[in-house]
Amino acid sequence: DAGITQSPRHKVTETGTPVTLRCHQTENHRYMYWYRQDPGHGLRLIHYSYGVKDTDKGEVSDGYSVSRSKTEDFLLTLESATSSQTSVYFCAISAEPYNEQFFGPGTRLTVL
Amino acid sequence: AQKITQTQPGMFVQEKEAVTLDCTYDTSDQSYGLFWYKQPSSGEMIFLIYQGSYDEQNATEGRYSLNFQKARKSANLVISASQLGDSAMYFCAIGTDNMLTFGGGTRLMVKP
């Protein structure tokens, strides 16, 4: 199994609070991704990174920011959480953009 | 923009029979990859199979094969000899521009 961990695995927070999710990899892969999964929508890309300090927006980036200061860590921040951001968040990694992506176990976030 | 359509929200198959899960895609890119992922009830995303747009042979991985028809823009997943453990959500995805775009998924249920 690819070495990808996500923390926390579960989080309940209140509207308006900041939240940071962490993705950590031990594979030294260049590309890292954050997705959200909601019923009826499959997985949608939030942001991705193609190297340290190199990031770009995905399909549903509004309300989210990311940072990558080290190859192994990719952080997703919700500056002020809203109930519409209640979702399951997956991190993924890949060695090259057209290679298969390997996914972390997911983080279930509930915003009350 | 890329689009993936999975028209079968749910399917049943008898154990030991073969099943085909449909996937059609739309892209203006000439170079792309097609992926299938499995998501069991435990929630993890498992990579199954990959097909490159320039690959002339259909991809196979064990009991999984990808029926790639480029002119029709379809990339159907065929699972041979279904097993009870194949019961899961299945997602088709297209890879272009450093990212994957996922379809809404098909829930497969294998009957004993």
The pLDDT tens digits along chain A (112 residues) read 569 999 999 999 999 999 999 999 999 999 999 999 998 778 999 999 999 999 999 989 999 999 999 999 999 999 999 999 999 999 999 988 777 899 999 999 999 9
Q: Flag if B98 and A58 touch (Cβ within 8 Å).
A: no
Please indicate whether residue B21 or residue B1 has the higher confidence score (pLDDT): B21
A106 in contact with chain B, both atoms CB, cutoff 8 A:
yes
Query: Letter for the amino acid at B80?
Result: S
User: Nearest residue on chain A to B35, judged by CA atoms?
Assistant: A100
Could you count the other beta carbons within 10 Å of the beta carbon of residue B107?
14
Rounded CA separation A104/B7 (Å): 27
Closest CB to A31 among B43, B93, B98 = B98
Please, are residues A71 and A85 in contact by the beta-carbon 8 Å criterion? no
Q: Give chain A positions within 8 Å (CB) of B45.
A: 43, 90, 92, 103, 106
Rounded CA separation A9/A23 (Å): 11
Closest CB to B104 among A42, A48, A106 = A42
Please give the backbone phi and psi of residue B104, each rounded to the nearest 5 degrees, phi first.
-75, -10
What distances in angstroms separate CA A43 from CA A66, A70, A78, A107, B108, one per listed residue? 18, 25, 18, 13, 18
Each residue's pLDDT tens digit, B6-60: 999 999 999 999 999 999 999 999 999 999 999 999 999 999 999 999 998 999 9
Q: Flag if B99 and A45 touch (Cβ within 8 Å).
A: yes
3-class DSSP state of B16: coil
Distance from CA of A51 to the nearest CA of B (A): 12
Rounded CA separation B41/A57 (Å): 29
Please give the backbone phi and psi of residue A83, each rounded to the nearest 5 degrees, phi first.
-60, -25
Q: Determine how β-strand A19-25 pairs with β-strand A73-78.
A: antiparallel
